[in-house]
Chain A
Amino acid sequence: MRIGTLKETYAADEALFDTRTQKAWLAVLILALGLFPFVAGEYWLYIACLVAIHVISTTGLNILTGFTGLVSLGQAAFMGVGAYTVAVLEARLGTPTLVNLLAAGFVTAGVGALVGLPSLRVKGLYLAMATIAASFILHFVFANWTSVTQGVSGINVAPARIFGFEMARPAQLYWLVVPIMLVSVLAAANLFRTRIGRAFIAIRDRDISAEVLGIPLLRYKLMSFALSSFYAGLAGGLWAYFFRVVTPESFPFVYSIFFLAAVIVGGMGTILGGILGAVFMTMVPEVLKLAVGLLSPVLPDAVAILSPVRTIVFGGLIVGFLIFEPHGLAEIWRRTRRFFHLWPFKT
């Protein structure tokens, strides 16, 4: 059992990682992430990269939806913008990988701010509709602006390259994706210790009150959109390097629902929630695939029902979590932790 931690200074109270136990566990986690590529096989590294990309995008959506209270159904389309930016830069100019990724982030942030413009007049559900509209319009642009995006045939992307070191396979790409994920998650966690982050939270809790307190709503809402889209663009850029081909069909509307589901399942408004949600939602289809593999001797057409079952499970998870556990996996995690803290006493 561990009793409450005593804090004597404001600095200690505001620190991101406050207890020694927390820091120790974090060190273990970093070490595990560093050792993972040496023990895991190709398949697991593939999953790890995919999870890391999803974590970045989900964290971005969490900034917008979980912390600022603006629902967006355009996250996948924003990722598409990032992916296309990287693909076009790589194919036309051949600029360095890191420059491409940053460009993807900034271009997407611009597009995101543009999509956020209706928040000038509308909010809540109306804004969600605007993001749906934006995602279909972006899809149209991907498919029909052939001179840049090459239409439905898509663009092939050269492998990522850092200081002459080529990263074509997941085992190599791991060293690019995971550090970027760590930095962006850390940045997001730190954001909510600053004035801007606090302003986001104030807007979520009651936007009129926030405005009365002197927070310029439009500027902060647009900032939230831009930040969230920056994350999406970064994730999209990594996605392009990961799958090496970008087509308009790579970023369907259901992919946006996937990210929204990840935020809800993980827990809206907590950084940990974004991470847990992305990991969980990426693993669910893999587990389903495994289950189908096991079932295939008994059920010959098991493979055919994989995709619909996945759709049902996604929808079911959204509904189930919203009804029974609105604070998501992060809350379950907190309860479990509390149980061990207070053991052998009851919570």
Chain B
Amino acid sequence: MDFDWLFFTEVTLAGLGNSALLSLTGLAFVLIYKATRVVNLAIGEMLMIGAYLFFSFTAGMGLPPYAAIVLAILGGALLGAAIERAVIRPMLGEAAISVFMVTIGVGSVLIGLAEIIWGAEPTALPDFMGKTPIFIGDAYVSRKVVIGFTVSAVVIALFLLAFRFWRGGVALRATASDQAAAYSCGINVPAVFSVAWMFAGAAAAGAGILVGAVGGIAPTMGVFGLSALVVVIVGGLDSIAGALIGGILVGLLEAWCGTYLGGEYKMLATFGLLMLVLMVRPYGLFGTVEIERL
């Protein structure tokens, strides 16, 4: 059998679109982890709420898509801040495992709320990107995937620039490297925590809109967050570059396995990769190896 290179290219391009979304979600995750050392298992649910907010603003209230995107992202930021203030702040100083379990609880609450407010049935987001396909060379790519990829890439680049040059970004990196030292330099650490959660919430909501536009929305779409979790574990929990490269790896792996082996192998491949990385390189490709002292 001849190997169909054109088809392979198309699958790979679609996979790259998914990669960008995974990287964006992974970035939201890393943002929280870097600033607050919280492993946030509710990131997928925050993403899901963002997508549903967008759905409400467009389909429910009939707002134009661009206003709805802005509102949904603001809503996501608000949600992030609310979660941080209500449940993460009281857990300051508790064992990392406890905080981790709190985020599991938060995720569960968010799923339940979404089911009550919007119903458990999956729905499609109103189309706002147009349907004309785009051709790169001979390869056909869906417009949504291209837009998703571009937007994610731009947002990730903006985040990277913000970390490098913006005062708040520098404060965040300072907090990440040494909380006490950051405090004594006059950085308002609690504010940094809130800001990190807000930005992560906004990024997650944005990713949610894009994910929803490609694959439809449902209260269970938070499962996407589990893939994003694999991304950051593969890349290293506290590495932004890791989130990017991990996202590309996982996205391509999912696309190839999903196409050539069948959809049910997607999860298997993703989690198989996770197990492999945990066994071979526990702190991910670019993560910091933690040194423990007694």
Contact residues of A with B, CB < 8 Å? 69, 71, 73, 117-118, 120-122, 124-126, 128-130, 132-134, 136-137, 140, 143-144, 206, 208-209, 212, 254, 257, 260-261, 264, 305, 307-319, 322-323, 326
Contacts and interface: CB of A to CB of B under 8 A. Distances in A.
B87 A312 contact: no
Given A311-B112, A312-B108, A118 B120 contact: no
Nearest to A137: B271
Nearest to B268: A140
B134 to A, nearest CB: 34
B275 A133 contact: yes
A257 B101 CA distance: 9
A209 B294 CA distance: 7
A133 B98 contact: no
B279 A117 contact: yes
Q: How large is the interface on B (under 10, 10 to 19, 20 to 34, 35 or more residues)?
A: 35 or more
A312 B45 CA distance: 13
A124 B95 CA distance: 10
Contacts of A126: 233, 278, 282
Given A136-B267, A206-B294, A319-B106, A118 B116 contact: no
Given A122-B278, A122-B282, A322 B102 contact: yes
B70 to A, nearest CB: 28
18 contacts: A69-B97, A71-B97, A126-B278, A129-B233, A133-B272, A208-B294, A257-B108, A308-B120, A311-B109, A312-B113, A314-B105, A314-B108, A315-B110, A315-B111, A316-B109, A318-B105, A323-B87, A326-B94
B271 to A, nearest CB: 4
B112 to A, nearest CB: 3
B91 A309 contact: no
Contacts of A212: 294
Interface string B258-284: 000000110110011011001100100
A308 B268 CA distance: 28
B252 interface: no
Nearest to B98: A322
Nearest to A69: B97
A318 to B, nearest CB: 3
Contacts of B229: 129, 132
Contacts of B113: 308, 312
Contacts of B264: 140, 143-144
B120 A322 contact: no
Contacts of A128: 97, 100
Given A260-B104, A319-B105, A322-B91, 11 more contacts: A73-B104, A144-B264, A212-B294, A307-B115, A311-B111, A311-B115, A315-B104, A318-B102, A318-B104, A319-B109, A323-B90
A212 B87 CA distance: 36
B35 interface: no
Given A206-B294, A307-B120, A323 B109 contact: no
B109 A315 contact: yes
B116 A316 contact: no
A254 to B, nearest CB: 8
A130 B275 contact: yes
Given A125-B100, A129-B233, A322 B115 contact: no
Contact of A121 (B90, B109, B272, B282): B282
Nearest to B114: A308
Given A132-B226, A137-B268, A323 B102 contact: yes
Contacts of A132: 226, 229, 271
B197 to A, nearest CB: 16
Contacts of A311: 108-109, 111-112, 115
Nearest to A119: B278
A126 B280 CA distance: 13
B294 A121 contact: no
B96 interface: yes
B107 interface: yes
Nearest to A254: B108
A189 to B, nearest CB: 24
A206 B111 CA distance: 35
Contacts of B106: 315, 319
Contacts of B20: none
A71 B39 contact: no
A81 B282 CA distance: 27
**Nearest 6 pairs between A and B by C-beta?**
A315-B108, A318-B105, A312-B112, A311-B112, A308-B115, A315-B109
A71 B101 contact: yes
Nearest to A132: B226
Given A132-B226, A311-B111, A322 B101 contact: yes
